[in-house]
Amino acid sequence: MRVWDQIPPSKLCRQHLLGEHREIHAIWTVLRRANRRTLTAGTAGYMNHPEVRRWRGKERALAQRHSVIVREMEARGYEHRTPLSKLPFDGSPRKPKPIDDQLEKLRGKNCDCEVSS
């Protein structure tokens, strides 16, 4: 589970762009259920996942990242049909602290992402 929030979506390969979109929805679902106190056995364990913890309290920033990812998907010809469900979050609009190793980890993937050394 990873959101490459420090990397412009235009630099992501197809696999990482679509994967990040899926992960944003997964994180959003866990945070939404926690907010409503409707966690199930299938989602409760994810509350302590590092990527979910990183976005806790930063839901507005996560929604903004989703919008940026969707714009890039549409620019590449994908049809977006999965809006984020509305949440009564008052989370910060600021992204979590940058993760210094995002570029390093992405460079280690064997993909077509456009991240220079």
- For residue 55, the enclosing domain spans 9-107
114 in any annotated domain: no
Chain segment 18-66, per-residue pLDDT in tens: 999 999 999 998 888 776 666 666 666 788 888 999 998 888 899 999 9
29 in any annotated domain: yes
Number of domains in the chain: 1
Chain segment 92-111, per-residue pLDDT in tens: 566 666 666 788 888 888 88
- pTM as predicted: 0.75
Per-residue pLDDT at 7: 92
Chain segment 64-98, per-residue pLDDT in tens: 999 999 999 999 999 999 888 765 555 556 666 66
> Which tokens is 113 given?
């992402």
pLDDT score of 1 more than 70 = no
3 in any annotated domain: no
